[in-house]
Structure 1
């Protein structure tokens, strides 16, 4: 397979997963809105900080309310990590590789992009928030289902798997990082009763609440949730599972030693994590997430140097890996 085609397919998967993960990131607050008393005020700008784009947001928006955050993350063309920009980039990468990807996948991604573009143009208001986020998440899952059901087990599928699993692991850590933000009031009398609810919202945003109850069989506790989402090797949206699937796909490619070493380094960092301490101290959790995301950057760089080194131009902003 040509390195340019491999890279475009890899980024196609990353952008689809990024759009879904970004919608899930916003859904953390949506779930909290349903579970918390109306008197509890949620923060929204902390989600901007978690994406690492607070400076750009401050440059573009004067208000830090929910509507501004939704506009920025969902539909702002000036923000490279917005849902609309991610889908546009996925669509462009797929357009250049349509000869190796089944037509059904192109049709679904194209329809999703056009639908989201129309909704963005009409405005993503708080009232339309949940329906919009659900639409993006389910459509991205539909794309992944079509990939599983229609694409042969070739190198094209391998690079799709690599892109999906690496981006999914990165977005999972960002959703976990919501827990380290000041989403809830910080006075002890207000925060303590809702800590477990906040962990529950993280699970719900990853569609992991039911699987957590089946596997862990304990009430919602920060350390147990964090261990489940970071280290579990059975739940599809756990970082440990993503890295295992990434490694398994990598083994089917030649010259994989350097990249596989980076995967093992990341696995070791996850295994050595002091989960109870991270769950109890948001600042330490945030620092740990930053370190893991740096591991992901090094993993991507090793992959790119091994398989994409001959590619010097990018048709769809492929160089913009979302980093903290």
Structure 2
């Protein structure tokens, strides 16, 4: 496979997952912000933008500026519209590899971005629509593409981004002030209740979103999926260690979470989230060095700072 095609597939997976994760985070915080004073809105908006890695252009921040930065700014890969546009552009570059159904879905999604009001009510509907469209993209990629190395690169990008976005979502827990809100943001509320079957608290909810091995949006599940994709792309017959830096980084992050026992998970949560985000960024760089040619014309698809 050409490196430029592999890179495009990898970033399709990342950008689609980024759009979905950003929509979930934005949707879950809008209702609370709409009921706050202007000063509180500005404080929450700055914290959300900092967590998401977006740099505000205006000194004053409110709901309007937040919506533009995280939802509608097509020039920023940190926004929903920007991520979906980047996913479509990468699909266009890999048009001979992605299925026609996947391309048509991304293309239709791109043209549907203009059909939404850019106020608070319109953004609620927009976030729901984005969740439905990104779920369709993932379903079409799984059902209409051969599960060969092209699909593995897409899954690899999706898994790394999902671990990163879940860690960012958990980093906003002080803003949300409710673990029920966090569970609903991840689409995990019903699964968590069925798994718990008893009274629960913040500690159990945090463990579920970080460590559950069967829930697809938990960080451990996403890192395990990324590790499996890396193994399939480059099986290793070594008896000692791994030459693949990306696989080592992902495996270390996954095993640290999985085997780290603590009675103060909530107090240590910021440290865990920083570690996951750094591991995902470093793994993405390692994947780029190993598999992709870093041509000057493709620099715009690089990792967010």
Give TM-score, length-normalised by structure 1: 0.84
Map residues 1-324 of structure 1 onto 2, 5 A cutoff: 1-30=1-30, 43-53=44-54, 56-57=55-56, 60-119=57-116, 123-180=117-174, 183=175, 195=177, 198-254=178-234, 257=242, 258=244, 259-273=246-260, 276-279=263-266, 281=267, 284-308=268-292, 310-315=293-298, 317-319=300-302, 321-323=303-305
Query: How far apart, CA to CA, are the structure 1 residues paired with 2:262 and 2:71?
Result: 32
Tell me the secondary structure at the aligned position of residue 317 of structure 1. Answer: helix
Q: Which runs of 5+ in 1 are unaligned?
A: 185-194
Equivalent in the alignment of 1:188? none
Deviation at 1:264, TM superposition (A): 1.6
Query: How far apart, CA to CA, are the structure 2 residues paired with 1:276 and 1:124?
Result: 44
CA contact (8 A) 2:74 2:85 kept: no
Q: Which runs of 5+ in 2 are unaligned?
A: 237-241
CA contact (8 A) 1:91 1:109 kept: yes
Deviation at 1:267, TM superposition (A): 1.3
Higher relative contact order (CA 8 A, sep 6+): 1
Query: How far apart, CA to CA, are the structure 1 residues paired with 2:296 and 2:150?
Result: 20
Query: How far apart, CA to CA, are the structure 1 residues paired with 2:53 and 2:273?
Result: 12
Tell me the secondary structure at the aligned position of residue 234 of structure 1. Answer: coil
Query: How far apart, CA to CA, are the structure 1 residues paired with 2:76 and 2:262?
Result: 33
Aligned residues: 294
Give TM-score, length-normalised by structure 2: 0.88
Deviation at 1:269, TM superposition (A): 2.4
Query: How far apart, CA to CA, are the structure 2 residues paired with 1:16 and 1:39?
Result: 31
CA contact (8 A) 1:200 1:220 kept: no
Per-residue CA deviations over 1:73-96 (Å, capped at 9, x if unaligned) read: 111234331111111111110001
CA-based RMSD: 2.3
Tell me the secondary structure at the aligned position of residue 252 of structure 1. Answer: helix
